[in-house]
Structure 1
Amino acid sequence: MTVPLTGSRGLATTLLVVVTAIWGATFPVVKDAVGRMPVLDFLALRFLLATAVMVALRPRSPARLGRTGWCHGLLLGLALGAAYVVQTYGLRYTSPSVSGFITGMFLVFTPLIAGVALRRPVDRRAWLAVGVATVGLALLSLRGSAMGIGELLTLAGAILFAVHIVGLGEWSPRYDPYPLAIVQLATVGVMCLVAAAPGGITPPPDPVAWFDLLACALLATVFAFLVQTWAQARMSATRAAVVLTMEPVFAGLFGVLLAGDRLTPRTLAGAACVLGAMYLVELGPRHGADAKVERLEA
């Protein structure tokens, strides 16, 4: 299927920037939410609510996916769910700004994982990006001679997001993206629900927690995914991926505005290295799976 790069591309780019702003804003929102209720309970309710809304909009679409599509959706959902669990736990121990920039390193890990998993060569630009990103990660995360638990968990989440992106790029062209997304989001929700069930499911304890949950489920998941699907049909994958690198920038901005984060010179230098590494990867040549970068949300 060809990508129509028409006059609507400008609107698509603008709306995709709006989506990255929403995703960036969710970092302090999620940090606030998991301070009010258990991490797994929050994630289960967020993704099950998002799934219910998407099914309500197109109730017959999951039945059209087929057995193989369901299997691929389940595998992608497991990777995505694991990524969200470790990323959200990491947010309990680090700032929203640092979490946003480290999570953005999924764009650096994606071509490396694609090269290993799909046996495709990794060019020198990608290796240079890894080196630059490593310097940035050290500036953002090191406390003395070691990384904190929050930064380590967030880094693991970035790697798992990259695994999800590679799998999505390899499998998504075979299916209608809407039911494939429903299966993935439902898998994340059920996975978190099962993990949280032994301790009981705690609903949001107050109006602020309910606001956090609804904002993440409806804006950062359902709305953002639908806008991204529309936008990426009107621009190349490379252009979309470069626009998506605005997410950690917004995460840093909202971390300062909403969560009281301080952007020290060291933090700014580390953020600049991470962003530079992202652009090195995204502006380089595309090969196979890494040419089809696509995220559900952040």
Structure 2
Amino acid sequence: MRTPTTLATLGLLAMTAVWGSTFVLIKDVVGRMPVADFLAVRFLIGAVVMVVLFARPVWRLGRRQLVRGLLLGALYGVGQLLQTWGLALIAPSVSGFVTGMYVVFTPILAMVLLRRRMPAVTWLAVALSTTGLALLSLNGLAVDMGVWLTLASAMVYALHIVGLGQWSRSDDAFGMSAVQMLAIAAVCLLATAPHGPVWPPDRSAWLAILYMALIAGAGALLVQTWAQSHLSATRTAIVMTTEPVFAAAFAVLFGSDVLSWRMLAGGALVLAAMYLVELLPQRRDTVGAVQAEAIHHEV
């Protein structure tokens, strides 16, 4: 029988796989419409769908959780704007690496804000995943405005991960997700002021935005909100660094990239980091339980 922790990890992996499939789509769409307008349309669609589906869970949220959901959504919306503005200026591979730096910021913020001590194995996992991301994504790094914008988005995402890990409750997941989506849409709509959002220019752009709004937006945020009610913020961040691994796999699968030693080595390091924080503690607990059972029988 799978534990909620295992199911939460599998859910996050599925979510990052979906996110990994969107990089090329986003780069294409923002080449044909303004960044803020693209995000406003995307998250407005997601917000409308989620509020219609989850009106009752939203209504049941207490005032404290409602405010927390709005704050978390506003953070996520700012992160999306910064990341997508940065992506318009730099290569998707560089964007993937710099965004993935939330794996470094998350444990630091958890220590500073929540005063949580991190075991040595967590820092080893952070180092492995960061090295893996660099191998996957970088062929030289010019620190220009796009990089700084994306680095700022990574910091905001780390803050969102820490806050969601602290405030998320499994029975509030539907309501909290819908409230966050509303706040994200509001932030992105404000960024289109004073003219308001420009609509997608053609059918292919609409299809890409619908996929990103419903699957990579509303669906992914729901999965993350539920999963983080069962996982620590740092573990969540490390599991989510598999996003560039999936992005590279999709690129190879669809023929837009060629499999290389860097992909294999980088992916292996990211997966090793996830093993350290996810599977080793479970294995240790299992061994401990078996030993305790053996002692019990001996007595």
Task: Give the structure 2 partner of residue 23 of structure 1.
Answer: 19
| Deviation readout 1:116-172 (Å, 9 max, x if unpaired) | 11112233334444544555566644746x434333333322221111011011111
SS in structure 1 at match of 2:86: helix
Task: Give the structure 1 partner of residue 220 of structure 2.
Answer: 224
How much does 1:30 deviate? Answer: 1.1
Letter of the 2:27 counterpart: K
Change (3 A) 1:198 1:267: farther
Task: Give the structure 1 partner of residue 105 of structure 2.
Answer: 109
Task: Give the structure 2 partner of residue 121 of structure 1.
Answer: 117
How much does 1:94 deviate? Answer: 2.9
8 A Cα contact 1:97 1:251, kept in partner: no
Equivalent residue for 1:62, pick from 55, 58, 63: 58
* TM-score scaled by length of structure 1: 0.76
8 A Cα contact 1:50 1:218, kept in partner: yes
Q: Which runs of 5+ in 1 are unaligned?
A: 287-298
8 A Cα contact 1:27 1:255, kept in partner: no
Q: Which runs of 5+ in 2 are unaligned?
A: 283-299
The CA distance in 2 between the partners of 1:110 and 1:60, in whole Å, is: 32
| Deviation readout 1:232-287 (Å, 9 max, x if unpaired) | 49x9637x84764432211122345569356665676556555555555556769x
Equivalent residue for 1:94, pick from 90, 95, 105: 90
Task: Give the structure 2 partner of residue 289 of structure 1.
Answer: none
8 A Cα contact 1:27 1:99, kept in partner: no
Task: Give the structure 2 partner of residue 237 of structure 1.
Answer: 231
Task: Give the structure 2 partner of residue 292 of structure 1.
Answer: none
Equivalent residue for 2:246, pick from 247, 250, 253: 250
Task: Give the structure 1 partner of residue 256 of structure 2.
Answer: 260
1:215 maps to 2:211: yes
The CA distance in 1 between the partners of 2:13 and 2:131, in whole Å, is: 27
- Higher RCO (CA 8 Å, separation ≥ 6 residues): 1
Task: Give the structure 2 partner of residue 47 of structure 1.
Answer: 43
Letter of the 2:62 counterpart: G
1:159 maps to 2:179: no
The CA distance in 1 between the partners of 2:281 and 2:7, in whole Å, is: 25
The CA distance in 2 between the partners of 1:94 and 1:281, in whole Å, is: 31
How much does 1:61 deviate? Answer: 2.5
The higher radius of gyration belongs to 2
How much does 1:194 deviate? Answer: 0.9
* TM-score scaled by length of structure 2: 0.76
The CA distance in 1 between the partners of 2:258 and 2:144, in whole Å, is: 18
Deviates more, 1:201-210 or 1:251-260: 251-260
SS in structure 2 at match of 1:190: helix
